[in-house]
Amino acid sequence: MRMNIGELITAMITPFKNNLEVDYAAVEKVANHLADNGTDAILVAGTTGESPTLTHEEELEILKTVKNTVGNRVKVIMGAGSNSTKTAVEMSIKVDKIGVDAILSVVPYYNKPSQKGLIEHFSQIADAVDVPILLYNIPGRTGINMQAETMAELAHKHQNIAGVKQSNPDLDLVTEIAIKTPDDFVIYSGDDSLTLPMLSLGAYGVVSVCSHLIGKEIKKMITEFKKGNVQEATEIQHKCYPLFKALFMAPNPTPLKTAMQQIGLAKDFLRPPLVGLSEEEKNKLKNILDTYQKVMN
């Protein structure tokens, strides 16, 4: 395996104060909660962390805060991608110097490069740092889909291109990635609800949103599946499924932040253009959370 960052990665929220400044005390609280509840690695400044509205200085300060908080209890990953190759390279170098266990690097968004352009983009990043790189394929946000052949070429060319967060419901593509990439290239589901089916096709784990709330249950699902207890893993999936879907009733991380406030772990402040849930949506989410607790108890 090209990197060892565990099976359950949590894409951590960025807590804000009511003035929308980063709440670093809450960052510590959430990081401790994740480290104590099944998470193997914390991803800082991903989509769930509202990276589009964070400054690079804030991202690096959050990274340092999380690292100081969790110590060696869990791995730490940083979202260091950009649609500018130059910016992605520079940010990756800075993050590598601070020290992380891996970098998450998103497919360039908005400018819609070709597959050849993707190879050039990620090759420049891989050549600039030694830290393992987890590609991030999320066509719903970037406008393009990285093909299995592209991932395979990158993985064969660069030893530190170590895996992919696959946020694409195309399960045939997961199979193609598993077949075409080296055996030590790791695939992570980028969607909680698709973790179990992706595991059956060769994925290793998940970059999760829902693990803020049910990390131990998601970790158990992965463990039971890999032990061969498919029925038990499936039962966990079925119980968790309504919650998986509820956390995407509005743009991520809006529902998650509401849920975190409802259970007392963080406030639900969001930076524009994201806005909070309506009262009707809040009540719906609370009912789903309450039902989940009853089902699991």
Q: 13: closest CA among 44, 55, 54?
A: 44
Catalytic position from the list 67, 75, 165, 219: 165
Dist. CA 68–CA 53, nearest whole Å: 23
pLDDT value of residue 60: 98
CA distance 207 to 217: 14
Q: Do 103 and 78 meet the contact criterion of CB atoms below 8 Å apart?
A: yes
* Sequential DSSP letters for 49-85: TTGGGS-HHHHHHHHHHHHHHHTTSSEEEEE---SSH
pLDDT tens-digit series, residues 156-180? 999 999 999 999 999 999 999 999 9
How many Cα neighbours within 13 Å face the side chain of 281? 16
Domain 8-227: which topology?
Answer: TIM Barrel (3.20.20)
Number of Cβ atoms within 10 Å of the Cβ of 279 = 8
According to the model, what pLDDT value does residue 295 have? Answer: 63
Q: Is the pLDDT of residue 296 over 80?
A: no
In the chain, domain spans: 8-227
Are the C-beta atoms of 98 and 63 separated by less than 8 Å?
yes
- How much is the pLDDT for 1? 80
Work out the average pLDDT over 76-92. 98
Given the residues 75, 136, 188, 257, select the one marked as catalytic. Answer: 136
Q: What is the pLDDT of residue 209?
A: 98
pLDDT exceeds cutoff 90 at 2:
no
Question: At 166, phi and psi to the nearest 5?
Answer: -100, 95
Which residue shows structure tokens 């406008």?
143
Interatomic CA distance for residues 189 and 216, integer angstroms: 17
Q: Note if 165 is an active site residue.
A: yes
Q: In percent, how much of the chain has pLDDT > 70?
A: 99
Active site annotation includes 188? no
Identify which of 141, 197, 164 has the alpha carbon closest to the alpha carbon of residue 2: 164
If you count them, how many residues does the chain have?
Answer: 297
Determine the Cα–Cα distance for residues 105 and 163; give it in Å rounded to an integer: 11
Instruction: Tell me what the pLDDT averaged over the chain comes to.
Output: 96
- Number of Cβ within 10 Å of residue 142's Cβ equals 21
| Span 236-267, pLDDT tens digits | 999 999 999 999 999 999 999 999 999 999 99
Chain-centroid distance, C-alpha 76: 12
Answer yes or no: is pLDDT of 129 > 70. yes
Residue in 171, 107, 98, 172 with CA at minimum distance from that of residue 134: 107
CA dihedral 218, 220, 222, 225 (to 10 degrees): -140
Q: Look at the block and give the residue holding tokens 């190879």.
A: 119
Q: What angle do CA 253, 167, 26 make, to 5 degrees?
A: 30
Give 193-232 pLDDT, tens digit per residue.
999 999 999 999 999 999 999 999 999 999 999 999 999 9
Q: Which residues pair with 163 in a beta bridge?
A: 134, 186
At residue 3, the pLDDT reads: 92
3-state secondary structure of 272: coil
Tokens describing residue 38: 């099944």
Strands 8-11 vs 75-79: parallel, antiparallel or unpaired: unpaired
- Residue 106, Cα to own-chain centre: how many angstroms? 11
Longest CA–CA span in the chain (Å) reads 51
